[in-house]
């Protein structure tokens, strides 16, 4: 995700001089320097002291170590952005002696191709300028929306885990097409563009997805025959339950981060 953010920022005109990466792995430092031509250093502490904004692109299990180092700095970051999944703002705040602006972000993997969806939650110290700064970064890799932090588990279940559900749908469409004799490349192209087109239709229309679905269905037609099979196996209920279960797991992981 960190690499996707760097690529998006550079494509959207962020100056090279304004971006620096802190990475303890020497091999990754060399890779970043070679690929992006930006500063990459292992010294997290010294770079954080001089930065207007610190973006934490770390695994949840690493957040305590990183936050402990940040909390020992003589001055706090002017703005701290965290994309550590399941780590609540309050868990980050406790590492600092004073209130600092913190923005928690839940992006998703399509950010890697500039089509991500990022939800942002803020603490009380965040001002309008901080929101603008964060939005500028994450809109460079897709769309953004601000939500209250209490909805982050739901966001994780819908847009964070959501791509996996859609990948499974695409996989099933491809397999179904191949079972009917389509060449794998043709089945893949048909399935992918169908999903892209359907999503764009929902975005562009004021009608609900169900209303759009009904427009595809003719009484006694092919689509109706397929939908009846999905209804028989409670397809929509299964997906709704998947979203619910993912949200529950997100809450559990948040507790483990304490």
- Alpha carbon distance 87, 129 (integer Å): 23
| pLDDT band at 50; cut points 50, 70, 90 | low
* Beta-sheet strands, E only, within the chain: 20-22, 39-41, 54-56, 80-82, 102-106, 116-122, 142-146
Q: What is the pLDDT of residue 75?
A: 64
* Beta-sheet strands, E only, within 136-216: 142-146
The least confident of 95-104, 156-165, 228-237 is: 95-104
Integer CA distances (angstroms), 26 to 36, 55, 145, in order = 15, 20, 35
pLDDT at residue 143 tops 60:
yes
Q: Which CATH number fits domain 162-255: 1.20.1440.120, 3.40.50.300, 1.10.3720.10, 1.10.3730.10?
A: 1.10.3730.10
| pLDDT band at 192; cut points 50, 70, 90 | very high
The domains of the chain are located at: 2-155, 162-255
Q: How far is CA 204 from the centre of its chain?
A: 22
pLDDT at residue 49 tops 60:
no
Tell me which residue has tokens 């994309």.
83
Q: What is the pLDDT of residue 45?
A: 59
Q: Are 224 and 218 in contact (CB under 8 A)?
A: yes
Whole-prediction pTM value?
A: 0.88
> For 198-232, how does the pLDDT look when each residue is reduced to its tens digit (9 = 90+)?
999 999 999 999 999 999 999 999 999 999 999 99
**Token pair for 111:** 């950010």
Fold match between domain 2-155 and domain 162-255: no
Superfamily of domain 2-155: NAD(P)-binding Rossmann-like Domain (3.40.50.720)
Q: How far is CA 258 from the centre of its chain?
A: 22
Task: Classify 23 as helix, strand or coil.
Answer: coil
Go through the chain and tell me how many residues it has.
Answer: 258
Task: Give long-range contacts, CB 8 A cutoff, 24+ apart: 250-254.
Answer: 250/85, 250/86, 250/152, 250/153, 250/156, 250/157, 250/160, 251/153, 253/60, 253/85, 253/86, 254/86, 254/87, 254/88, 254/153
């Amino acid at each position: 995700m960190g690499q996707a953010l760097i690529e998006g920022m550079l494509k959207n005109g962020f100056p090279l001089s304004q971006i620096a990466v802190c990475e303890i792995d020497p091999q990754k430092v060399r890779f970043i320097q070679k690929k992006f031509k930006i500063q990459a250093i292992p010294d997290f502490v010294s770079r954080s002291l001089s930065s207007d904004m610190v973006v934490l692109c770390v695994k949840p299990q690493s957040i305590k170590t990183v936050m402990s180092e940040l909390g020992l700095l003589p001055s706090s970051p002017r703005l701290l952005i965290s994309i550590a999944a399941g780590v609540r703002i309050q868990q980050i705040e406790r590492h600092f002696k004073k209130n600092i602006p913190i923005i928690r972000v839940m992006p998703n993997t399509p950010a890697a191709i500039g089509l991500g969806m990022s939800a942002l939650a803020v603490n009380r110290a965040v001002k309008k300028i901080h929101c603008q700064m964060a939005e500028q970064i994450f809109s460079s890799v897709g769309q953004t929306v601000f939500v209250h932090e209490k909805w982050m588990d739901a966001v994780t279940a819908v847009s964070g885990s959501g791509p996996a559900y859609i990948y499974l749908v695409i996989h099933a469409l491809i397999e179904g097409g191949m079972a009917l004799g389509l060449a794998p490349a043709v089945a893949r192209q048909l399935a992918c563009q169908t999903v892209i087109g359907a999503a764009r239709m929902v975005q562009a229309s004021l009608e609900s997805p169900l209303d759009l679905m009904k427009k595809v269905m003719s009484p006694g037609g092919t689509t109706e025959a397929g939908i009846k099979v999905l209804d028989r196996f409670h397809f929509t209920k299964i997906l709704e339950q998947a979203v619910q279960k993912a949200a529950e797991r997100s809450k559990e992981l948040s507790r483990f981060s304490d």
